[in-house]
Structure 1
């Protein structure tokens, strides 16, 4: 298998580490300390050095934080991780349902007489701190900037990553770095700003047409950047990483000069308070204009080269997935383990010379493990694929021309009627969203319920978003676009998103079906008399959906027609690329229903 880049901790390691941290809190005179899953760059993914939350608590989910007080340690996780956290943390840690319970509400309940709660200002976004401080007004609870206390007690903490960058070819980028810089500098001028501070690694990679490997599965390098309204860029990145030429408008500096450069800025400076570290906000103060990361929306709206590169990457990726599904289907129930499935799939992906890495740890959850939304198989949890199980197989690849992410739920042996009914509801939601046409200007929150409605009708739902943005040989989770109840960002042509409804029954089974899709302008309907601009999807993922799990009678004629047309496209696009055995398997898997 590909190397895992996660710091892990056994539950029994948590209590002594917690005790050591509380010792440092006592030295500093603090009643609490906050440990986020974040680094100074405020991206979703962090290098081993920055996985303080996992090291301290054992919880390895991609979102969450811990608030350690003198007598309680709350681990705040959202609905995706509430099964996982119970299995990963010791009893000394208390899982907290977040965001239903906010940090401020929890602190006021746990510290009724007030107290001092420390935080590392590099690891918390300015917007988060401002919001929490506002909610704590009148409580006598004070948030206090301090050194990182976890770093003091983490004796074998890994060193910061220092991997060299590489150039991202123009045939895949579709636009030169100079053009991007000039284009975005003009938006700063129009906004009356002299500069913008950029901390997100994928934004810097996109802007400068470079890629890195400082974070596992994500082709990014750590650094900071200042984009000036005159079309110049100051890049703050360790010189040992800079082994390829940068655009003419870019001047490189060592990272330790970043705060001084920020302090020297004049006029209004555009920032994204949702990702700007509090340490940087403390320097800018009243100069800040919360205009967002200037790269976020342009990066999300892929150009033709990025879209076509992603489409081609998905076709090659489908070969690896289908070859794996063919092999899996030939094995008798009870003969394989989750690890064997992961290994086989990753070996098949590795046959493509354009593959740089997988795009995240492959999820292969069988039976009850499938109900853990972001399950990662370990030696302790590795389970056999038994008769009657559903296998959730969620995986992806990082290719030079695109990033993939696909989930298929597969029947192992003879599956029960209840599982099939739930699977069909999930499928209906995915298909109905795939068929959707919608007016330009709507956001993810306006349409994501389409994918949930078949489940809602049966009194069911799932605790994750319907979809996330995806980069072009960048992060597999990319903002600002999402198919989520809380996403207000209008969907625009060129945005790539996942369409992945699911259903999870704790202790029993899980289901998820995921395709990647790209937003495009919808062609006018024949005879239509409405002239408003409409959008729809172009599907990128072409892998069959397990027909054995479909209750055909539950599908409408339109849903059945979409599925048959989709399977016909899968056979036509992928069949010629497969081995003889896999092609025969695909013929059966894509037969009309």
Structure 2
């Protein structure tokens, strides 16, 4: 939805209708999170109510509506975008910052006796509902989770997705679903649980070795899973599962029921059950179906940790996917170098050309997220997305930031590179060099196995902080294996809680992507994916190091090489030598020439 929509008053009309329904239902405040019953990052159209209601297109944000206020909470990645898209809507941008009130705290702070706050419990995490309900209770207010106001308000709401489900097969699927289910049951037993309910789509896709396309960019499908003492049931639309896939599942003892039957199935779980659930990854509306006598065993879904630790066989496939992705990028960048200054190139052209280059590569399935191509000022918005209505031509002097990724049968990629356009300024080169110093610092780090991942953040930031520069987003996120490009439980971000589940283990894939953003001028981000590898043992315990997986030159034309130390130059030269060695056999002509030129030693 564009600024033009807001200017026409469409969003203001929707807010007015929402307030009328709230008044009729005696609801004082309505919380509209960016969420679905699976707590997904990217939402099927049916659950994009916050976007439809507010006109803000960012993937993360929380809307709160009262009779005299409407606010959209968003973090620094989205501030510039939100200011544009909310203009004229009657919705205020509330900037999420460390130490400031989030939407739940704000709602609790505003509440007085008898205040009623409503949210669709089907899309609110158990942990969040408990926090909010408790805070409201202290004020004499209450939380309603039994109502979805969008059912009445959103007349042309999209249907649930109905795309086919398919198997992720060997050799890329290196562990069978029976073995995965066995491991999960083993963990259930260790925790004293005889039942386990899973709502998150990446966990389900991984556990059953199935993939789909119900969610943009993530090869997952809408489903629930319920593991009982003697049964394993997958709840998925029957028309999405072919006879071949159904028979394969049934041979492995997996029963199929319709997606909409999950409520009835949860009601039938006996009161004596001990149910393992992750309160951060299941919604309160779903657990409301359970008998009140069911005992909840709360903790991380076993599958979340299992799938984060890629096996050596998985890693071999991932390395090959990285080579194919790197080759596609070389072809793209060779084209871009030849096109700039000779033919019209826009941010939209870049998205199209990148997609075409990846499509030519074996094993490619789809993008892993929406390509971010931001020239100069647009690059200062970390989650910028060019549209037909608003995009820049790539011309003149400056910096072009390109953040893109692909889903391959053998892995998921995510890479950001900077491209010089014309003659970048010295300050722009200094920003690129400083960010690269952060990438190198963390890439070279060795650290104790089991260290809580948020603690590693300062290593990447130290060279950037040294010049009194900072950035608002985290430094790294976990990445799936032909699954979600953003995957836990590890995250490299000082803003993230240092919970035991964030411990670094061998086989975890994480991004390293520090940045610098100068609003209205330019933005810089350089990103590689790395995997935790064993680094040996000493009297102080076991240690890990990073192996860099991403293979693509870092354009030295963007750098002030005088800012790099001898060790940093040695790292860059060694990285470029490896990139050249592994990608050269996959390239020819202009792409090979571009690779050789861009990997020359500095």
After TM superposition, the score normalised by the length of structure 1 is 0.95
SS of residue in 1 equivalent to 2:128: helix
Question: Which residue of the partner structure matches residue 10 of structure 1?
Answer: 5
SS of residue in 2 equivalent to 1:171: coil
Question: Which residue of the partner structure matches residue 216 of structure 1?
Answer: 216
Matched, 1:409 2:388: no
Instruction: Please tell me whether the aligned partners of residues 465 and 484 of structure 1 are also in contact (alpha carbons under 8 angstroms).
Output: yes
1:493 CA drift (Å) = 0.7
Measured in 1, the distance between the counterparts of 2:428 and 2:2 equals: 35
Measured in 2, the distance between the counterparts of 1:337 and 1:201 equals: 35
- 1:516 counterpart (521, 525, 529): 529
1:155 CA drift (Å) = 1.7
SS of residue in 1 equivalent to 2:276: strand
- 2:594 counterpart (576, 580, 585): 585
Question: Which residue of the partner structure matches residue 34 of structure 2?
Answer: 37
Map 1:374-523; keep pairs closer than 5 Å: 374-485=383-494, 486-488=496-498, 489-523=502-536
1:90 CA drift (Å) = 3.2
Matched, 1:574 2:588: no
Instruction: Please tell me whether the aligned partners of residues 3 and 86 of structure 2 are also in contact (alpha carbons under 8 angstroms).
Output: no
1:311 CA drift (Å) = 1.0
- 2:371 counterpart (362, 365, 379): 362
Closer, same or farther: CA 168–131 of 1 in aligned 2, 3 Å:
same
Instruction: Please tell me whether the aligned partners of residues 108 and 132 of structure 2 are also in contact (alpha carbons under 8 angstroms).
Output: no
> Could you list the per-position Cα deviations for residues 289-334 of structure 1 after superposition, in whole angstroms to 9, with x for gaps in the alignment?
2112121000111112221111111100111111111111223448
Question: Which residue of the partner structure matches residue 133 of structure 1?
Answer: 133
Instruction: Please tell me whether the aligned partners of residues 499 and 516 of structure 1 are also in contact (alpha carbons under 8 angstroms).
Output: yes
Measured in 2, the distance between the counterparts of 1:229 and 1:425 equals: 55
> Could you list the per-position Cα deviations for residues 169-206 of structure 1 after superposition, in whole angstroms to 9, with x for gaps in the alignment?
12112111001101110111121111111000110110
Map 1:56-135; keep pairs closer than 5 Å: 56-91=53-88, 92-98=90-96, 100-111=100-111, 115-135=115-135
- 1:299 counterpart (294, 307, 316): 307
Question: Which residue of the partner structure matches residue 3 of structure 1?
Answer: none
Measured in 2, the distance between the counterparts of 1:229 and 1:171 equals: 31
Measured in 2, the distance between the counterparts of 1:263 and 1:539 equals: 47
Closer, same or farther: CA 294–421 of 1 in aligned 2, 3 Å:
same
Which runs of 5 or more residues in structure 2 are unaligned?
none
Closer, same or farther: CA 161–519 of 1 in aligned 2, 3 Å:
same
Measured in 2, the distance between the counterparts of 1:395 and 1:194 equals: 42
Measured in 2, the distance between the counterparts of 1:441 and 1:228 equals: 31
SS of residue in 2 equivalent to 1:75: strand
SS of residue in 2 equivalent to 1:429: helix
1:531 CA drift (Å) = 5.7
Measured in 2, the distance between the counterparts of 1:213 and 1:508 equals: 37
Question: Which residue of the partner structure matches residue 330 of structure 2?
Answer: 322
> Could you list the per-position Cα deviations for residues 397-442 of structure 1 after superposition, in whole angstroms to 9, with x for gaps in the alignment?
1111111111101111101111111111100000111111111110
Matched, 1:155 2:163: no
> Could you list the per-position Cα deviations for residues 434-459 of structure 1 after superposition, in whole angstroms to 9, with x for gaps in the alignment?
11111111021111111111111111
- Runs of 4+, deviation exceeding 4 Å: 6-9, 108-114
After TM superposition, the score normalised by the length of structure 2 is 0.93
Residues 206-215 or 549-558, more deviating: 549-558
Instruction: Please tell me whether the aligned partners of residues 301 and 494 of structure 1 are also in contact (alpha carbons under 8 angstroms).
Output: yes
Matched, 1:191 2:191: yes
Instruction: Please tell me whether the aligned partners of residues 62 and 103 of structure 2 are also in contact (alpha carbons under 8 angstroms).
Output: no
Question: Which residue of the partner structure matches residue 343 of structure 1?
Answer: 352
Instruction: Please tell me whether the aligned partners of residues 409 and 513 of structure 1 are also in contact (alpha carbons under 8 angstroms).
Output: yes
Measured in 2, the distance between the counterparts of 1:109 and 1:439 equals: 41
> Could you list the per-position Cα deviations for residues 378-398 of structure 1 after superposition, in whole angstroms to 9, with x for gaps in the alignment?
122210113222111011111
Instruction: Please tell me whether the aligned partners of residues 72 and 93 of structure 2 are also in contact (alpha carbons under 8 angstroms).
Output: yes
Closer, same or farther: CA 7–444 of 1 in aligned 2, 3 Å:
farther
CA RMSD of aligned residues (A): 1.8
1:9 CA drift (Å) = 8.5
Question: Which residue of the partner structure matches residue 22 of structure 2?
Answer: 25
Measured in 1, the distance between the counterparts of 2:568 and 2:112 equals: 55
